[in-house]
Structure 1
Amino acid sequence: MREILIVGGGYAGFYTAWRLEKKLRHGEARVTVVDPRPYMTYQPFLPEVLAGSIEARHAAVSLRRHLHRTRLIAGSVTEIRNASRTVTVRQEGRPDYDLGYDVLVVTAGAVTRTFPIPGIQEEAFGLKHVEEAVAIRDRLLTSFDRAAALPPGPERRKLLTATFVGGGFSGVEGFGELMSLAKSLLKHYPELDAHELNLHLVEALGRILPEVGDKPGSWVVRSLERRGAQVHLNTQLLSAADGNIVLSNGQEFASGLLVWTAGNASNPIVHNHTDLPVNQRGLVRVRADLRVGTETAVIPDVWAAGDDAAVPDLATGRSDTYTVPNAQHAVRQGKRLAKNIAASLRGRNTKDYVHHSLGVVATLGIGRGIFQYHGLVIKGLPAWLMHRGYHVLAIPTWERKARVFAVWATAALYGRDIVSLASVQDPRKAFVSGGRPASPVGLPD
């Protein structure tokens, strides 16, 4: 059998493997997926995980539960050497080793783009994985608990201040959902006042949500500001050392929560550790049918899709444009990739990837959203319902759809759960200390 090796189990990788299981004949090829996480994260639901509207596990699709005929390796690919048809795999608890392949599929995804800003590495959370969304939520809930026990002052003000850096979809949706959660928490904390809550959104450009038009983007800014947010446009973060936020517009304030969502960067595996052709942005060069190569030269049996690939966007009618890195494209590229690989194995012609956008939709918190399709713009509750409807249908498997819908129905009746489980980030602490709380400083145990 031929060995099909898929690097990365995100959107594109999962859907490629899932569809290959249905397309391949018995004994035609073996599929292997290498990914350090045993699940695919449905990233559009991360803002709702952050807000407690969805359980964390429901935004993660188990690879082993749904890929029944695929070999799964829980590890990371650290180098791709197509000249020798091998990759280097790193797994915890064992030395690095080489893995061979006949057909390679690169769907490693992108990573969060960061800059050498003081305090970012020590203070900031990202928002690309389930663990990060849960940690942000727990930090906010714990901050409310601590603030309620303090008198008004600088420390309490810091605990009730949250800052998001990045005005793209991930940042705006996460910010809107966090604002919705924070506002709803106030009724459970009579010690706190709504005026003490300070929420900042920082964007280096002069607008947010670049995927929507100027007018809808301006409406989102006004909507957030009416709800009490402070939106800083044309502003950069200069420092976050010790939680003290310094902005390029001259403002300084202490923030107990910092979330960094300022775009994506190419995956280091693809950018720095492969002999495959990459463009100036560090993305794999891909033809319209998702084979790696250029219009004049193709690399046999090597394919790529998703956020780590420069896929020509044929829907625009221009030769110099590429598909944007979002779930809408990654899912459909994975499906087309599986069909093309199966066709290639059987000596048939492949088809180009073409997808016309279905529009963009974003949640801004419970009951608030925005949708745009060409000149059609829908705002408020209808857009929020469209967001939920589209994504509950888009998340793979009926099992996940049912779980998500059940949580939504429960929350509609009883509200969101507001219990912080920050202690799970250090689960052995209670055991090691014998179940005793930490002693106050200066007092004996």
Structure 2
Amino acid sequence: MRRILVIGGGYAGFYTAWKLEKKLRRDEAEVVVVDPRPYMTYQPFLPEVVAGSIEARHAAVSLRRNLPRTKLVAGMVNNIAHADRTVTIRPAQGPDFTMTYDILVVTAGAVTRTFDVPGVADRAIGMKHVEEAVAIRDRVLTAFDEAACLPPGRDRSRLLTFTFVGGGFSGVEGFAELMSLAQALVKHYPELSADDLAFHLVEATARILPEVTEKPGRWVVRMLERRGAHVHLATTMDSAEDGHVVLSDGTEFDSELVVWTAGNAATRLLRNYTDLPHTPRGLVQVRADLRIGTDAEIVPDAWSAGDDAAVPDLASSAPGGFTVPNAQNAVRQGKRLAKNLVRALRGREPKNYVHHSFGAIATLGLGKGIFQYRGFVIKGLLAWLMHRGYHLLAIPTWDRKVRVLAVWLVAFLYGRDIVSLASVQSPREAFRAEAKANALGSARSA
């Protein structure tokens, strides 16, 4: 059988493999997915994980459970030699090894784009994975516990100052949901008040949420500012060393939590370790039918989709543009890629990928949201309900739909769970401390 190797188990990779399982005959091809994580992250739910509105595991879709006919390899591809039809894989344990394939599907996704800002590598945390969203939530909850024991002053202010860098959908949604969580927590801490909290959103351009038009974007800024946020537009972060944030507009403050969501970049694999053609930005050069190559030349047996692919946007009126790297496109590209690959295997011509946007929708905290489709805009509670309804339908598998809905219903009746589990990041600390104390006690007795 031919081996179809899928690099990456994110949106595009998961949906490609999922659809291939349904469309391929059992003796037609073997599908292999290589990814260091055993799950697909449903990224639109990460802001709600930050806010404690859903459980972390409910934003993760198990690859093994939902891809039973696919061979899964827990590792990271660190070199592609398509001329030889081989990849080099670095597993979680053991030495690197090579794997051959007949057909390659590159859906490696993108990584968080960072800049050489002092302190960011040491202090900031991203928001692309479930683990990061959980860590952000636990840091907020832990900060409240610690601040409640301190008198008013610089240390308390630092703990209760939260900073997001990046005004795209991921940044704004995460920022708004964190604000909602923090402001709801105050009532459980009589030692603290809403005046102790500070929220900063830093965006390098003159507006946030580029997916919506300028007027709704301004409304979001005003709404966030009315809730107590400081929105710094046309501003960059110059430094975050030791938690002391310095902005290009002259603002300085101490912040315990810095979340970096300032855009995406191609992975190092695609920029440096492949013989596949790519754009100056490092994205794989892709045709409209999702085969790798150009209109003039096709790379045989090579396909790509998702955030790491420069896919021509045939639905746009502006020529030469590429599809936006978002969930809508990644999911639909994965489905189209699977269909096209099966068509190619059976001697038929693949079809072009064309997708007209369903609009942009965002959660802005509990009970608040915004939706825009062309010139039609909905704000507030209705948009928030639409956001939840859309993503409840969009998340794959009934297992996840039911679990998410159940958590929402419980939260509606009893509120968010406000227990911090930050200690799970160092689970042996308590045991190690007790063992050390026992050893010291035994030594003194002797």
Q: TM-score, normalised by structure 1?
A: 0.97
The 5 A counterparts of 1:325-336 are 325-336=325-336
Between the aligned partners of 1:264 and 1:302, the Cα distance in structure 2 is 23
**Paired residue secondary structure (2:32):** strand
Distance change >3 Å, CA 318–CA 249, structure 1 → 2:
closer
Deviation by residue 1:388-433 (Cα, 9 ceiling, x = unmatched): 0000100000110000000000000000000000000000111111
2:364 — aligned with what?
364
**Paired residue secondary structure (1:163):** strand
2:379 — aligned with what?
379
2:210 — aligned with what?
210
Is the 2:36–2:92 Cα contact (8 Å) retained in structure 1?
A: no
Deviation at 1:341, TM superposition (A): 0.6
**Paired residue secondary structure (1:306):** coil
1:246 — aligned with what?
246
2:262 — aligned with what?
262
Q: Which amino acid aligns with 2:30?
A: R
The 5 A counterparts of 1:17-416 are 17-416=17-416
Deviation at 1:93, TM superposition (A): 2.2
**Paired residue secondary structure (2:378):** strand
**Paired residue secondary structure (1:315):** coil
**Paired residue secondary structure (2:34):** strand
**Paired residue secondary structure (1:280):** coil
Deviation by residue 1:77-98 (Cα, 9 ceiling, x = unmatched): 0011101110000012211111
Deviation at 1:116, TM superposition (A): 0.7
2:441 — aligned with what?
none
Between the aligned partners of 1:376 and 1:269, the Cα distance in structure 2 is 41
**Paired residue secondary structure (1:434):** helix
**Paired residue secondary structure (2:14):** helix
**Paired residue secondary structure (1:316):** coil
Q: Which amino acid aligns with 1:161?
A: T
Q: Which amino acid aligns with 2:408?
A: W
Between the aligned partners of 2:366 and 2:193, the Cα distance in structure 1 is 21
Deviation at 1:316, TM superposition (A): 1.0
Deviation at 1:317, TM superposition (A): 3.8
**Paired residue secondary structure (2:355):** coil
**Paired residue secondary structure (1:73):** strand
Distance change >3 Å, CA 6–CA 165, structure 1 → 2:
same
Is the 2:166–2:261 Cα contact (8 Å) retained in structure 1?
A: yes
Between the aligned partners of 1:72 and 1:367, the Cα distance in structure 2 is 39
**Paired residue secondary structure (2:79):** strand
**Paired residue secondary structure (2:307):** helix
Q: Which amino acid aligns with 1:431?
A: F
Size of the aligned set, in residue pairs, is: 439
Deviation by residue 1:131-164 (Cα, 9 ceiling, x = unmatched): 0000000000000000000000100010010000
Q: Which amino acid aligns with 1:127?
A: M
Q: Which amino acid aligns with 1:352?
A: N
Between the aligned partners of 1:110 and 1:367, the Cα distance in structure 2 is 31
Between the aligned partners of 2:59 and 2:134, the Cα distance in structure 1 is 11
Between the aligned partners of 1:177 and 1:307, the Cα distance in structure 2 is 24
Between the aligned partners of 2:166 and 2:192, the Cα distance in structure 1 is 28
Flag structure 1 segments of 5+ consecutive residues without an equivalent.
438-443
Between the aligned partners of 2:406 and 2:435, the Cα distance in structure 1 is 35
Is the 1:430–1:436 Cα contact (8 Å) retained in structure 2?
A: no
The Cα RMSD (Å) is: 1.2
Flag structure 2 segments of 5+ consecutive residues without an equivalent.
438-443
**Paired residue secondary structure (1:433):** helix
Deviation by residue 1:317-372 (Cα, 9 ceiling, x = unmatched): 44301100000000000000000011111101111101000000000000000000
Deviation at 1:435, TM superposition (A): 7.5
Q: TM-score, normalised by structure 2?
A: 0.97
Q: Which amino acid aligns with 1:175?
A: F
Deviation by residue 1:243-293 (Cα, 9 ceiling, x = unmatched): 000000101100011000000011111111100000111100100100000
**Paired residue secondary structure (1:245):** strand
Q: Which amino acid aligns with 1:196?
A: D
Is the 2:107–2:307 Cα contact (8 Å) retained in structure 1?
A: yes
Between the aligned partners of 1:248 and 1:300, the Cα distance in structure 2 is 48
**Paired residue secondary structure (2:274):** coil
Q: Which amino acid aligns with 1:313?
A: D
Q: Which amino acid aligns with 2:261?
A: T
Q: Which amino acid aligns with 2:143?
A: S
